[in-house]
Amino acid sequence: MSASTSSVELHPGPAKDLAVARSLGRRRHRTNLIVKTLCVTATALGLLLLASILFTLLWNGFGGLSLSVFTNTTKPPGSNGGLLNAIVGTLIQTGIGTLIGTPIGLMVGTYLAEYGGHSALSNAVRFVSDVLLSAPSILIGLFIYQLAVEPFGGFSGIAGCLALAVLVIPIVVRTTEDMLRLIPSSLREAAIGLGAPKWKVIVLICYRAAKDGIVTGILLAIARIAGETAPLLFTSLGNLNWSVSLGAPMASLPVTIYQYAGSAFEDWVQLAWVGALLITVGVLALNIAARVALRGRS
């Protein structure tokens, strides 16, 4: 007790002088208030930015929204073109990209959660998958260009699908692994106790229990690739004519937006805004759906 008293007395200000203590307290609370205000401002700024983006899109895109956007293909400036081929192209490439990437991602996630443990191989896979998750998507485009465009002599829809599939894999890996790890081992043990082989336990028990989480991952992956532009520039290239052939260059909303937004024609810029509105609404809706799917579970 005496020791602590003496240490307080060694302290110069507060304990002795009430005025000093008060001013110190005031200063501390003032600093606190300033920091708090700055933090609220930062958050408000973040929300304001989101609002500004959404408002800009609605303001510029909503006016151009009409039926012809969905029924007409892209046409030369001034002839009432639409975005039909771009929308269909995006749906095709996103769909096939997801179909290719999801099973692979699912299996990798399964490997990491159920088989790999913390072996050197699984640590390496986890590391590479994590890096791939944040790697610049334009490089994926260059990679697929080298792999599937140059050797086959031309840009093609299928190359675009492949580029998007590469982007899907790490997203699905991450959510699948996380979700499988959340499943209580008692569930697995119960199934194994009944004599089920491991693969049946995984497919029939674990996948089913982790379904919501895995679906969330897939939805997030779709949302991510639907808005990707850079990897498509070098693979499916974009196409101003109607084409659903996977062997030919294929249009997509983001690439069309990119081509139109920089053009000098007013109706093209208008269509770019409409496309931007459509893609953003779609992507944000998918994100919110994914969150709702997951929340229903937890």
Using CB under 8 A, which residues numbered 69 to 98 contact other proteins?
none
| 245 touches other proteins by CB under 8 A | no
Given 246, 261, 289, 293, the residue binding other proteins (CB under 8 A): 261
| 272 touches other proteins by CB under 8 A | yes
Candidates 65-73, 74-82, 209-217, 270-278 — which segment interacts with other proteins by CB under 8 A?
Answer: 270-278
Place of tokens 């699905």: 172
Given 10, 19, 45, 264, the residue binding other proteins (CB under 8 A): 45
Least Å from the CB of residue 106 to other proteins: 8
Distant-in-sequence, close-in-space partners of 106: CB < 8 Å, separation ≥ 6: 172, 176, 214
Binding residues for other proteins restricted to 195-234, rule: CB under 8 A: 197-200, 202-203, 223-224, 226-230, 233-234
| 150 touches other proteins by CB under 8 A | yes
| 289 touches other proteins by CB under 8 A | no
* CA–CA separation, 80 and 73 (whole Å): 9
What number of chain residues touch other proteins (CB under 8 A)?
88
Given 15, 24, 139, 244, the residue binding other proteins (CB under 8 A): 139
Render the burial of 90-101: b for 16+ CB within 10 Å, e for the rest.
bebbbebbbebb
**SS3 assignment, position 229:** coil
| 239 touches other proteins by CB under 8 A | no
CB 106, CB 180: distance < 8 Å: no
CB 163, CB 138: distance < 8 Å: no
* CA–CA separation, 73 and 193 (whole Å): 59
- Per the document, the length of the chain is 298
| 124 touches other proteins by CB under 8 A | yes
Given 20, 24, 131, 204, the residue binding other proteins (CB under 8 A): 131
Candidates 4-12, 69-77, 78-86, 191-199 — which segment interacts with other proteins by CB under 8 A?
Answer: 191-199
Place of tokens 């929308």: 87
- Which is closer to other proteins, CB of 200 or CB of 297? 200
- Which is closer to other proteins, CB of 62 or CB of 71? 62
SS3 content of the chain, % helix, strand, coil (to 5): 75, 0, 20
Place of tokens 């029939």: 204
Least Å from the CB of residue 107 to other proteins: 4
| 125 touches other proteins by CB under 8 A | yes
* CA–CA separation, 236 and 94 (whole Å): 12
Given 21, 24, 39, 99, the residue binding other proteins (CB under 8 A): 39
Question: What is each CA distance from 232 to 81, 260, 292, in whole angstroms?
Answer: 22, 16, 30
CB 219, CB 289: distance < 8 Å: yes
Least Å from the CB of residue 32 to other proteins: 4
Given 16, 22, 26, 29, the residue binding other proteins (CB under 8 A): 29
- Which is closer to other proteins, CB of 65 or CB of 261? 261
